[in-house]
Amino acid sequence: MTVAEVRKRYLDFFAKRGHAIIPSAPIVPENDPTTLFTSSGMQPLVPYLLGQSHPEGARLANSQLSFRAEDIEEVGDNRHTTFFEMLGNWSLGDYFKREQLPWLFEYLTSPEEGLGLDAGRLFVTVFGGDEESGMTADAESIEIWKKLFGEKGIDAKFVELGTEEEGSEAGLQGGRIFSYGVKKNWWSRSGIPTKMPPGEIGGPDSEVFYDFGTPHDPAFGKECHVNCDCGRFVEIGNSVFMQFIKKPDHAFGELPKKNVDFGGGLERLVAATRGNPDIFLIDVFDAARRSLEERSGTAYGSNEAATRSQRIILDHMRSASVFIASGIRPSNTEQGYILRRLIRRTLREADKLGIKEAVLAEVAEGFGVAYAGAYPFVYEAREIIRGELAKEEGRFRKTLSLGLRELEKLSAKGSLSGEDAFLLFSTYGFPLELSREIANERGLEIGNFGFREEMRKHQELSREGAAQKFTGGLADHQEQTIRYHTAHHLLLKALQTVLGPDVHQRGSNITSERLRLDFSYGEKMTPAQKERVETIVNEKIAEKLPVIRTVMKKEDAEKLGAEHEFGATYPEQVSVYSIGPKDATGSNPKFTEAFSIEFCGGPHAENTGDLAGVRGPDGSDRKDQKTVFKIQKEEASAAGVRRIKAVLE
């Protein structure tokens, strides 16, 4: 099947079973400072999984654009990608295991409504219990899976494995259902049960694997098992059962409303329908892959080293296309740094293939066409994508030239140390393999240990910085962050008041320390304009206006003139936050008199007066301070787009 066919069959299947089909959230999370990218379908739904009611009801499904930066180094084999689509369905306190697992099995195996996969190639894992936390094995899921396989005439033997190491020693043992421990088949935002704080929710999960039947590679362990990394078994779906809550005494209690969160890799499911584990042979890669074959003169799959380079280029250009179409631009920070890394790694792989002329734009064009139906914003941005790729290639070639001159100086002493190689990496963007290649060409030796040690220090510092910057799990609901969410609404409306109604949001990032707002405006703001904006925001904070959430039809919200994210797709039912007037209530929001009305998922303060309660660095309460909102910086972000950074102090 094609990607479009698998996606449509999935959404149709769950729509028929009462699920509202919601749109994909943006690839860059809205108002979530804890992560650079949306990495799963559940990530945008965390508030609803924690108890907030969803505008579309208790049964939801979608296909979510996702990206995982931690997988960059894994790309090059036949199954790892950085960008992917995650098919998902959710029950918010509605159905549970006895509905979810049979529906999933039916979708995977039904030729009429689903994918028509051979049930004999499906293997599953379940939670095997945890002695330390007192959590018992998921016997109910084992029972359900045995029944489902039995209905297909398959005797599903259950085998306890525990860990990957034990699986490698024991092998499959003729099993069909396998239990693993907390590291493989338990989900919570905090990890294993003993790490969960009081109030945290979690539960067992059940994963489905497809057996492609490829030979086991002993390099990955003595015996093959479903969680083996040799590539024979590929995970195609995971049902998480959010069933428990950690109590204050650290025991576990059952949630009164249990949730289901399913995620399935769309590309992997398409590969399963083809019976071929190579994801890069599915249809969305076809046009781009043909371009690479033609330019390199090497057929895909005919040469191991060349095929690895082709896979990296295909993956990275697909990610880069979606990034640029989503408004990300190459830079040295945050999302822009990841985009720059993807593009520059692609250029190195193109060099290995002997492609000297620009090929990136041509490869990217193939993805614009492939996603024109499902995600037209990628196709519509193809000229912007082409331009950004060309500019970044020019920058990299210049950097490469400077780095080569530095390498010549360093190599004059007759060898390159690991520290030298790391300097080239950190300052000029030279990957270790590039330094090694050039050193070999000159007959020089290069020390690996020093490089690894410097890289270890660098990564440790990066992790510490990330830990300080991105705290709070999948979604940051700290009190100060919530206040900044509300201040963000006030700021946007104040900008429209001062600069005119054509000002609209073009991006945002909110942390517990500050807010950042990108907005459409073609000129630098004057000091008087910035002062007026600050005054308006502070006046609204002082007025202590109610902040009210209302769920309504999208068309009704649009008629009210509610602000919403540029280019975002919204469901038919939306969450709208209105601020003011003073006598507004949840039952009578008085939209026509409100200061601000915006589409937004929240969370927010209940009253603008709460914004004056942000504490300073010394912990002192600032409620009596008259001026609390302050613009720190106003600068250009892109052509026709300005950026404001502001704090509550």
pLDDT digits (tens, 9 = 90+) for 257-305: 899 999 999 999 999 999 999 999 999 999 999 999 998 999 999 999 9
3.30.70.340, 3.40.640.10, 3.30.930.10, 3.30.70.20: CATH of 3-280: 3.30.930.10
* Residue type at position 468: Q
3.30.70.260, 3.30.200.210, 3.30.980.10, 1.10.3210.10: CATH of 479-648: 3.30.980.10
**Residue 636 structure tokens:** 């250009």
Distance CA 159, CA 178 (A): 5
Q: CA-CA distances (angstroms) from residue 355 to 293, 360, 438?
A: 10, 10, 18
Beta-carbon contacts of residue 406 (< 8 Å; ≥ 6 apart): 423, 424, 427, 428
Sign of CA dihedral 597, 602, 606, 608: negative
* Residue type at position 268: R
Q: CA-CA distances (angstroms) from residue 576 to 354, 361, 482, 501, 505?
A: 54, 39, 16, 19, 16
The residue ranges of the chain whose pLDDT is under 50 are: 461-476, 614-623
**Residue 314 structure tokens:** 């295909």
CB 451 within 8 A of CB 421: yes
Domain spans in the chain, listed from the N-terminal domain onward: 3-280, 282-387, 479-648
Beta-carbon contacts of residue 555 (< 8 Å; ≥ 6 apart): none
Beta-carbon contacts of residue 295 (< 8 Å; ≥ 6 apart): 353, 355, 357, 359, 362
Nearest in space to 475 (alpha carbons), one of 512, 506, 513, 505? 512
- Say whether 479-648 and 3-280 share the same fold: no
CB 127 within 8 A of CB 205: yes
pLDDT at res. 622: 46
Long-range CB contacts (within 8 A, 24+) of 422-430 = 422/450, 422/451, 422/454, 422/455, 422/458, 425/451, 425/455, 426/454, 426/458, 427/403, 428/399, 428/400, 428/402, 428/403, 429/344, 429/396, 429/399, 429/403, 430/403
pLDDT at res. 627: 60
CA 642 to chain CA centroid, nearest Å: 26
**Residue 9 structure tokens:** 């069959």
Distance CA 209, CA 414 (A): 52
